[in-house]
Structure 1
Amino acid sequence: MNLVLASQSASRREMLAAAGLTFEVAAAAIDERAVEAGLAGAAPQEIALALAEAKALAVSRDRPGDLVLGSDSLVVCGGRRFDKPASREDAARHLEWFSGRTIELHSAAALTRTGAVVWRGAEVARLTVRPLSGSFIESYLDAEWPAVAACVGVFRIEARGVQLFSAIDGDHFTVLGMPLLLVLDALRESGELPA
């Protein structure tokens, strides 16, 4: 199997490598906002799946025969959807909004081959954010910015981001940004990995 990860996400690369998979990386060049524009009113999970598919398809068209994995995550909290923060100030506003609330992290993945989707799956994790003081938010961003600029939810759970939460309900890999257990099941079911 020649597996290609259509993402530059360090956590997604680390997950696949730790699981023992051999893969290449080819970042997808898509306009995520344009994809989202055609999905007005769609459920968060469907948006995450559409973005994962778009990334995989963009790379798949140039890699005939290769199995391409696309993935995407998005956060919903208090009826609002959040993308990656545009600036440190934007990150602080996100954290202020999350304070004392539960965020839903939707992580999706899709596998494509020669420009066609062959599998898709998604999971959701619910993360309860403890009440955050303004001074905590500032010290947190002093330590984590700009690393969390590329993170929806403004956290890396494997780093100081764990300090944001009082409870987590969901799969660890989903929280990291990809429903890895679903992906591995799909690879086994398709014969790409031994059962």
Structure 2
Amino acid sequence: MTSKPSLILGSSSPYRKELLERLHVKFTTDSPQVDETPLKEETPRDLSLRLSRLKARAVAQKHPGCVVIGSDQVLDLEGKCVGKPGNRENCIKQLEEMAGKTLIFHTAMTVIDASGLGHSAVVDTTIKMKKLKRETIEAYVDLEKPFNCAGSAKLEKLGICLISSFQSDDPTAIIGLGLIELTSMLEKCGIEVLPGLK
């Protein structure tokens, strides 16, 4: 009987760690150090996919023979990449720009198996933002402090109040990992989530 390979989540995100813990699989984490600067004329979807691959490869190089998950999420606002705000002022600016508009969150995942072969997927979530008053935005930002969330959108918490609709094939994708797709990807790489699951 061969032992299954070790699983590593290539991320320092507490949100992704919490999501992966839901699957009850043993794993460790390692933070990839990659340049997240978009390439010239790179679409938000392509950026998310490229960064997920870069992150997975960066961690896999340090841990040969392991299964590694790399993930990235990019917010698409009318074709423009929207990143993490970093501070209160940028949060408010982002939310004012996003108010009343339709956004797409591209959540890309790459799983590199023990032989070094990569499997990638992107799960999209479409969000319609409510029209927001400045006082609403400021109250949300001051309560949640979503400085490390793409587009200042902490939808798993109070940010849910800012949206009028949500469409996705996987409700966990918006938080940072699409667990429906990821489960299938892990099975292909020898990581059994539930016995006999195909």
Relative to the length of structure 1, the TM-score reads 0.91
Higher helix residue share:
1
Distance 1:165 1:61 in 2: 40
The letter of the residue matching 1:23 is: F
1:27 to 21, 31, 37: 31
* Conservation of the 8 A alpha-carbon contact between 1:61 and 1:115: no
Distance 1:50 1:5 in 2: 17
The percentage of aligned residue pairs carrying the same residue is 28
Distance 2:35 2:56 in 1: 13
Per-residue CA deviation, residues 70-111 of structure 1 (Å, 9 max, x unaligned), is: 000000113322010132111111000110011100000001
Shift of 1:64: 0.9
**Equivalent residues in 2 for 1:29-108, closer than 5 Å:** 29-33=33-37, 36-37=38-39, 40-108=40-108
The 1:45–1:138 alpha-carbon spacing in structure 2 relative to 1, beyond 3 Å, is same
What secondary structure is seen at the aligned counterpart in 2 of 1:150?
A: coil
2:189 aligns to what? 190
* Conservation of the 8 A alpha-carbon contact between 2:132 and 2:162: yes
**Equivalent residues in 2 for 1:4-19, closer than 5 Å:** 4-19=8-23
What secondary structure is seen at the aligned counterpart in 2 of 1:14?
A: helix
2:6 aligns to what? 2
Distance 1:115 1:54 in 2: 17
Structure 2: any 5+ residue segments left out of the alignment? none
Aligned residues: 189
2:154 aligns to what? 156
Point out the more displaced range, 123-132 or 172-181: 172-181
RMSD: 1.5
Distance 1:138 1:86 in 2: 15
Distance 1:106 1:4 in 2: 22
What secondary structure is seen at the aligned counterpart in 1 of 2:151?
A: coil
* Conservation of the 8 A alpha-carbon contact between 2:74 and 2:107: yes
Structure 1: any 5+ residue segments left out of the alignment? none
* Conservation of the 8 A alpha-carbon contact between 1:121 and 1:179: no
What secondary structure is seen at the aligned counterpart in 1 of 2:152?
A: coil
Per-residue CA deviation, residues 129-153 of structure 1 (Å, 9 max, x unaligned), is: 10110000111111011xx111102
Shift of 1:155: 2.0
Shift of 1:115: 8.6
The letter of the residue matching 1:172 is: P
2:120 aligns to what? 120
Relative to the length of structure 2, the TM-score reads 0.90
Distance 2:150 2:54 in 1: 18
Shift of 1:116: 3.6
Distance 2:128 2:138 in 1: 20
Shift of 1:114: 6.3
